[in-house]
A and B are shown apart, each in its own frame.
Chain A
Amino acid sequence: MTPGAIERSALRLDRVGATLAALGVGGLALGPFVSARPNRIVDGVPHGLFEALPPSLAAFVALVAAAAALVALSQAPPVLRAFAGAAALACLTLALGQAPRHLTAPGDIYARVAPGWGYWLAGFASTLLIADALTRLRFRPLARLAALVIAGLAAAAAIGSGALDDLSIMKEYAIRATSFWAEARTHLALALGSVAAALAIGAPLGVAVHRVTAARGPTLAVLTVVQTIPSIALFGLLIAPLAWLARTIPGAAEIGIAGVGAAPAFVALTLYALLPVVGSVVSGLGAAPPPAIDAARGAGMTDWQVLAQIEAPLGAPTFLSGLRVVTVQNIGLTTIAALVGGGGFGTFVFQGVGQTAIDLVLLGAVPTVALSFVAAVVLDAASESAGAHA
């Protein structure tokens, strides 16, 4: 190797890492680390890292962030990069939990301290650094699930330890702890229940239109039209017919059918999930190579045996990645169910919007994002292990 080549390789920067380092360090240096308010509805006052924290802690955070940025910039091995990202994220978040004590007088129960966009940016960059490193490590599906469990335990430990209790979002949570978990259950039941219902209807429908080619175009066209109705309009559209059903059919109201509430939300979410479910069943079943299907029939398989033994297993990865999209989509869309009184995390979001209390909006939005993320990782792992033969 020539001296020039050595110099070049030492100077070579990691492109993704450089972007993340700039994002994180820039966010911390330029943006507010927290925003503090005397009470929950007035405008916040931004505080940079060194205002928000005692000097020694602020210096420590800056040091850790700088070290993580250097690791991100360099050609460090993925394990080290993941570790740097995790250390930065943990350090930023635990320090964030200390900001309220530094900024507000003891005993002031009205004051609110929320993360500023400087924290969000640096936290986002750290998370991406971890995600990028995990991708480079090419974890097997099972290892990815294990990583997810570890991340979940770390988050639970951070929250459970009380280290974050003084933050605004946790104060909102403390007031609503009981209803938070009730809405969480509703949210999960609506999101996953509607996906299950869409599967129960859409999977047989997908198999049917896969077989009867002539029915494929019209069916998918109808479902596409449903898909294009804006979600709020669809929720609204369902109020009248469901209210009518509840009035006219005896017993319908008793089993929960009503113009507002969970029923229209459930129906609308199911309708939204139907197109992607049918679509991914159809494209999954179409993924098997035609000579393999020909050979399977030639070997003496019945149509059902070809479906169960050849088309279904070969289409499973496509189907499961479609299911991942549907599930993530419905977890997000369920937020809107609160508009028709369906409940779920959307309840906090819309209450927060109504009260211009951003902390309350976050109490609804953060768990929704976390749920989507978990669903995406789990179903991604399932899809990949179903395709392990390829």
Chain B
Amino acid sequence: MITIERLTKRYDDDVVVDDVSLEIAEGAIVAVVGASGSGKTTLLRMINRMVEPTSGRVLIAGEDTRATAPHLLRRSIGYAIQGHGLFPHRTIAENVATTPKLLGWDKARIEARVDELLSLFGLEPAIYGPRRPHQLSGGQQQRVGVARALAAFPRVLLMDEPFGALDPIVRAKAQADLRAIQRKLGVTVVLVTHDMDEATSLADRIAIMERGRLVQEATPVEVLTHPATQFAADMFGADERPFRLLSLKSVADLTQPGEAGGEPIAADADRREALAALLWSGRAAAPVTGAGGERLGIVTLARLVEAAAAKAR
């Protein structure tokens, strides 16, 4: 859906993004990770032409982005940044209405869309719509920033460390919301992040940048088990890797027949949670229950440990 072809950005003699090519499927979430200064933001901003590439091109739905004037292009692409960038002199409703207003939607349609989005993000429109950004918590401001980016039904949503400033609990909630909303709207998301948990848990694919170059682009499991470079391996932390791998799948397909006592584990719980539950309660196995609470079998510590090994995929 987004095709990035041999994209390069140079500032004087500095090659900041170096010959990057990348295909992003319709409706996918791609996380762009890499060290500070590796060119993630620059790559992202070349997609909506906030930064003009030195060479190469970007196609969205087969159409060259250079065929459209930059400001018109940006009205069809959502853009959410760290620190939300809300307009302090405008109300929350006016902030969310920014792009629809630029597109000349009529008042009733804008109002309906603003109400719909605020509700979707758990902000009661009648209460929060008339407020100013400074009257909201950091987490609420960030949600409004994403709602604003989604207001005009963009085909693509670009996000640059959108959750970077949030505390871990609020961030986890924001990530879950994003996942649910993205599934509902089917929008293609390119997400720049420093948070490897965020990348592995949210993204369908992870793109790793190293000094301007794209060194690997693959599924989270593949990136974890077969990192393309030493840097890619280090990034996920040797002591964290097995647990990250476990967190990517549910216990459902590790379930085997048998009997075990104690607190049951839901079949759709991820394997890392299951391992933690077994370790914490000192059991070698736990019963697994389905969505309706029915017994499906058991999951054993041995199977979980086996699944945590790199070869196990």
Whether B71 contacts A300 by the Cβ 8 Å rule is: yes
Mark each residue of chain A from 288 to 312: 1 if its CB lies under 8 Å from any CB of chain B, else 0: 0101111111111110010000100
Extra inter-chain contacts (12) besides given A292-B87, A298-B158, A301-B98, CB under 8 Å:
A289-B85, A291-B83, A292-B88, A295-B81, A295-B145, A296-B87, A299-B79, A299-B99, A300-B75, A302-B71, A310-B87, A390-B134
Whether B99 contacts A314 by the Cβ 8 Å rule is: no
Within the complex, the shortest CB–CB distance from A41 to chain B, in Å, comes to: 59
Contacts across chains A and B counted by CB atoms under 8 Å: 69
State in angstroms the CA–CA spacing of A302 and B74 once bound together: 10
Within the complex, the shortest CB–CB distance from A277 to chain B, in Å, comes to: 22
State in angstroms the CA–CA spacing of A289 and B148 once bound together: 17
- 24 inter-chain pairs at a CB distance below 8 angstroms, sorted by A residue, are A291-B83, A294-B50, A294-B81, A294-B85, A295-B85, A295-B86, A295-B145, A296-B87, A297-B71, A297-B74, A298-B79, A298-B81, A298-B85, A298-B149, A299-B148, A300-B103, A301-B102, A305-B71, A310-B87, A313-B89, A314-B88, A314-B89, A389-B132, A390-B88
Collect the chain B residues with CB atoms within 8 Å of residue A302's CB: 71
Q: Considering only CB atoms and an 8 Å cut-off, how many residues of chain B contact the other chain?
A: 27
Whether B71 contacts A292 by the Cβ 8 Å rule is: no
State in angstroms the CA–CA spacing of A382 and B149 once bound together: 34
Collect the chain A residues with CB atoms within 8 Å of residue B148's CB: 295, 299
Per the 8 Å Cβ criterion, residues 262-309 of A in contact with B are 289, 291-302, 305
Which residue from A291, A299, A313 sits with its C-beta under 8 Å from B74? A299
B84 on interface, CB distance cutoff 8 Å: yes
Mark each residue of chain B from 101 to 135: 1 if its CB lies under 8 Å from any CB of chain A, else 0: 01100000000000000000000000000001010
State in angstroms the CA–CA spacing of A293 and B48 once bound together: 15
Q: Which residue of B lies closest to A293 (CB)?
A: B85
State in angstroms the CA–CA spacing of A294 and B73 once bound together: 15
State in angstroms the CA–CA spacing of A207 and B125 once bound together: 37
Within the complex, the shortest CB–CB distance from B93 to chain A, in Å, comes to: 14
Collect the chain A residues with CB atoms within 8 Å of residue B99's CB: 299-300
B72 on interface, CB distance cutoff 8 Å: yes
Q: Which residue of B lies closest to A387 (CB)?
A: B89
Within the complex, the shortest CB–CB distance from A329 to chain B, in Å, comes to: 28
State in angstroms the CA–CA spacing of A70 and B134 once bound together: 43
State in angstroms the CA–CA spacing of A310 and B85 once bound together: 11
Collect the chain B residues with CB atoms within 8 Å of residue A291's CB: 81-85
Q: What 6 A-B pairs are tightest by C-beta distance, nearest first? A: A295-B85, A298-B79, A300-B75, A291-B85, A300-B74, A389-B89
State in angstroms the CA–CA spacing of A296 and B86 once bound together: 9
Collect the chain B residues with CB atoms within 8 Å of residue A294's CB: 50, 81, 85
Whether B86 contacts A297 by the Cβ 8 Å rule is: no
Q: A298-B74, A299-B148, A389-B132 given as contacts; is B86 within 8 A of A305 (CB)?
A: no
Within the complex, the shortest CB–CB distance from B95 to chain A, in Å, comes to: 9
Per the 8 Å Cβ criterion, residues 137-187 of B in contact with A are 145, 148-149, 158
State in angstroms the CA–CA spacing of A114 and B134 once bound together: 55
State in angstroms the CA–CA spacing of A204 and B88 once bound together: 25
Collect the chain B residues with CB atoms within 8 Å of residue A296's CB: 85, 87, 98
Collect the chain A residues with CB atoms within 8 Å of residue B87's CB: 292, 295-296, 310, 314
Collect the chain A residues with CB atoms within 8 Å of residue B75's CB: 299-300
Whether B88 contacts A389 by the Cβ 8 Å rule is: yes
Whether B72 contacts A297 by the Cβ 8 Å rule is: no
Choose among B82, B89, B134 the residue with the greatest number of A CB atoms under 10 Å from its CB: B89
Per the 8 Å Cβ criterion, residues 123-173 of A in contact with B are none
Within the complex, the shortest CB–CB distance from B84 to chain A, in Å, comes to: 7
Whether B102 contacts A298 by the Cβ 8 Å rule is: no
Within the complex, the shortest CB–CB distance from B104 to chain A, in Å, comes to: 12
Collect the chain A residues with CB atoms within 8 Å of residue B85's CB: 289, 291-296, 298
Mark each residue of chain A from 349 to 390: 1 if its CB lies under 8 Å from any CB of chain B, else 0: 000000000000000000000000000000000000000011
Within the complex, the shortest CB–CB distance from A296 to chain B, in Å, comes to: 7
Whether B84 contacts A289 by the Cβ 8 Å rule is: no
Q: A299-B98, A299-B148, A300-B99 given as contacts; is B88 within 8 A of A289 (CB)?
A: yes
Q: Which residue of A lies closest to B69 (CB)?
A: A302
Collect the chain B residues with CB atoms within 8 Å of residue A305's CB: 71, 102
State in angstroms the CA–CA spacing of A212 and B58 once bound together: 29
Collect the chain A residues with CB atoms within 8 Å of residue B48's CB: 298
State in angstroms the CA–CA spacing of A84 and B277 once bound together: 75
Q: Which residue of A lies closest to B132 (CB)?
A: A389
Q: Which residue of B lies closest to A295 (CB)?
A: B85
Within the complex, the shortest CB–CB distance from A382 to chain B, in Å, comes to: 16
Within the complex, the shortest CB–CB distance from A211 to chain B, in Å, comes to: 16
